[in-house]
Amino acid sequence: MHLNKSMARFLSNFSVIFSLLFFLNPNLLHAAWGLNMTQGVTPISQDVYNMHMTSLYVVTIIGILVFSVMFWSIFHHRKSKGVKPAKFSHSTTVEVIWTLIPFAIIVALAIPATKLLARMDDTSKSEITVKATGYQWKWKYDYIDEDITLYSNLAADSVDASQKNSGIDPKTADNYLRNTDTALVLPVGKKIRIMTTASDVIHAWWVPDLGWKRDAIPGFINDNWTVINKEGIYRGQCAEICGKGHGYMPIVVKAVPEKEYLAWVQETKLALKSKKDSGDKELSMDELKSKGEAVYKANCLACHQANGQGIKGVFPALDGSPIATVKTRITEHIHQVIYGKNNMPAFGEQLSDTDIAAVVTYERNVWGNKTGDIIQPKDVAASRKK
């Protein structure tokens, strides 16, 4: 069904697409079909788009000229028309000309490109600084001056729909694979410095509407900037292969007016504080399990899988695994979540005591693991101190 509908839709527009093959009308292209680069919402992204179109026009014109000569030759200089082949084999004049003209074209393209690059490079006078850190497979955002740290995971409905043969139509998920549980909120009209780095492997932070992408490299901090002109939600995703979850770490930027941004900052600070304080509360098994399931989905499922079986030889199973079932190893279980082991990242920094308590409880009481163990936030807090 899906195939037929899409094919019909495609075929009905086939002629449109192919008449636009050489990008004769950029506006048409941009509007309907997602054929062309976005013009984006920043001054830089607009310039990048213009530079892209300039070079596209240049190569298109060169292509039309060269291929016209070639096809003229193919149609007229063929043996079946009875022509006798000419004997010439070189011409210094012509050869010098067609060396110099391309050189001139390249210089003409390089000048605006150099100017644009210099502007993109200048991160001075920025008013807000955000550090984006890539993790396998999520983004962490630190608002440097505000003491706000957020973790941004793939949204839960996308997680569900993206499981192999999930039976869920991706169309039913909100912005499938391009939606997160937490957005990066930024004010419009301010120069924002975005630093990128990573904690494990190389990632790349990319929102097409901002006009650039930049690698996030462990041990290094890259510097970029943007000024968003228009309120809205802008989506992107990791652009550097970073393992199994590479396709599943989207980026969502929510650009809001400055006032709204300032209110959001206050609100978020309060929310983060109350989350920290709630660590000494006792929770019931059901509360822990339902919270744990959400934490598992966002953090653990990519490797250990929905059924807890992992992937043989790569990611160990949790279902039936001694560390998740033997009572004497509860502390070790908590420790491994906090500090990581081998390829498993340390979650101690990104998850609260309550989150870790919930996910460990969940892992010990789901699938075939029926230990009945309940881990409370204070147990995790105690474990951190050791």
Partner 1 sequence: MSTIAHANHDHHDHKPTGIKRWLFSTNHKDIGTMYLVFSLIMFFIGGSMAMIIRAELFQPGLQFVDPQFYNSMVTVHALVMIFGAVMPAGVGLANWMIPIMIGAPDMALPRMNNMSFWIMPFAFALLLGTLFIEGGGPAGGWTMYPPLVLQTGKAFPFLIFAVHFLGISSIMGAINIIATVFNMRAPGMTLMRLPLFVWTWVITAFLLIASMPVLAGAVTMLLTDKYFGTSFFNAAGGGDPVLFQHIFWFFGHPEVYILALPAFGIISQIIPTFARKPLFGYASMVYATASIAILSFFVWAHHMFTVGLPINGELFFMYATMLIAVPTGVKVFNWVATMWKGAMTFEAPMLFALAFVILFTIGGFSGLMLGITPVDFQYHDTYFVVAHFHYVLLTGAVFALMASVYYWLPKWTGNMYDEKLAKIHFWLSTIFANVLFFPQHFLGLAGMPRRIPDYSIQFADFNMVSSLGGFAYGISQLLFIYIVIKCVLGGKKATAQVWEGARGLEWTLSSPPPYHSFTKPPKVTKALMDY
Does the footprint of partner 1 cover residue 37 (CB under 8 A)?
A: yes
Q: Which residue from 28, 43, 51, 123 is in contact with partner 1, where contact means CB under 8 A?
A: 51
Assigned token pair, 153: 């995971």
Give the orientation angle of helix 285-299 with respect to helix 353-364, to 10 degrees.
100
Assigned token pair, 98: 């067609």
Residue 108 or 285 having the CB closest to partner 1: 108
Contacts of residue 187, Cβ cutoff 8 Å, sequence gap at least 6: 128, 255, 256, 257, 258, 260, 261, 262
Q: How many residues does the chain have?
A: 386
Tell me which residues in 349-378 interact with partner 1 (CB under 8 A). none
| Type of residue found at 313 | G
CA angle 154, 157, 160 (to 5 degrees): 95
Does the footprint of partner 1 cover residue 43 (CB under 8 A)?
A: no
Distance of CA 259 to the CA centre of its chain: 28
Residue 165 or 284 having the CB closest to partner 1: 165
Question: What is the DSSP code string of 239-260?
Answer: -S--STTGGG-EEEEEEE-HHH
Does the footprint of partner 1 cover residue 113 (CB under 8 A)?
A: yes
Residue 208 or 279 having the CB closest to partner 1: 208
Contacts of residue 121, Cβ cutoff 8 Å, sequence gap at least 6: none
| Residue pair 368/319 in contact by the 8 Å Cβ criterion | yes
Q: Which residue from 187, 211, 308, 377 is in contact with partner 1, where contact means CB under 8 A?
A: 211
Q: Binding marks (x or -) toward partner 1, 213..252, rule CB under 8 A?
A: xxx-xxxx-xx------------xxxxxxxxxxxxx----
Q: Which residue from 43, 46, 120, 190 is in contact with partner 1, where contact means CB under 8 A?
A: 120
Q: Binding marks (x or -) toward partner 1, 261..300, rule CB under 8 A?
A: ----------------------------------------
Does the footprint of partner 1 cover residue 93 (CB under 8 A)?
A: no
Residue 77 or 281 having the CB closest to partner 1: 77
| Residue in this structure with the two tokens 């650009």, named with its chain if needed | 255
| Type of residue found at 339 | Y
Does the footprint of partner 1 cover residue 19 (CB under 8 A)?
A: no
Residue 42 or 365 having the CB closest to partner 1: 42
Does the footprint of partner 1 cover residue 98 (CB under 8 A)?
A: yes
Tell me which residues in 166-205 interact with partner 1 (CB under 8 A). 166, 168-171, 175-178, 200-202, 204
